[in-house]
Amino acid sequence: MKMQSVIAAIVLGGVLAAPAFAQTAAPASAPAANSQQNKMKACNAQAGDKKGDDRKAFMKQCLSAAGAPAPTMTQQERMKACNTQAGDKKGDDRKAFMKTCLSTKS
């Protein structure tokens, strides 16, 4: 009976200490998540109108590419991506955004 209570105390101590370790580890992983989010945005923009298995395969390849440069987009693909990113912008704001977006090499 004494061994069971010792094991229970160890398990309970581990459960109570787990949140403290989780809170200290979260800030270190935040920049990595941000870069992953940026990669996801870029891959989504490049995926364009792909659907179903084609999109799945493209996203898998795009997200797993470790540091590989993104393939250059055609002018039409770049226009679609910039339109999507422009969102609700109107007038001069949209015009300025589209100019900078379309002039970037990607």
- For the chain, how many structural domains are there in total? 2
Q: Residue 33's domain spans which residues?
A: 1-71
Task: Let me know whether 2 and 15 are in one domain.
Answer: yes
| Cβ atoms 47, 62 nearer than 8 A | yes
Q: Reply yes or no on whether the pLDDT at 97 is more than 80.
A: yes
Q: Is residue 70 within 8 Å of residue 42, measured between CB atoms? A: yes
- Regarding pTM above 0.75, the answer is no
36, 19: one domain: yes
Domain match, 41 and 2 both: yes
pLDDT > 90? residue 91: yes
Does one domain contain both 15 and 61?
yes
Reading the block at residue 79, the tokens are 């226009």
- pLDDT greater at residue 71 or residue 11: 11
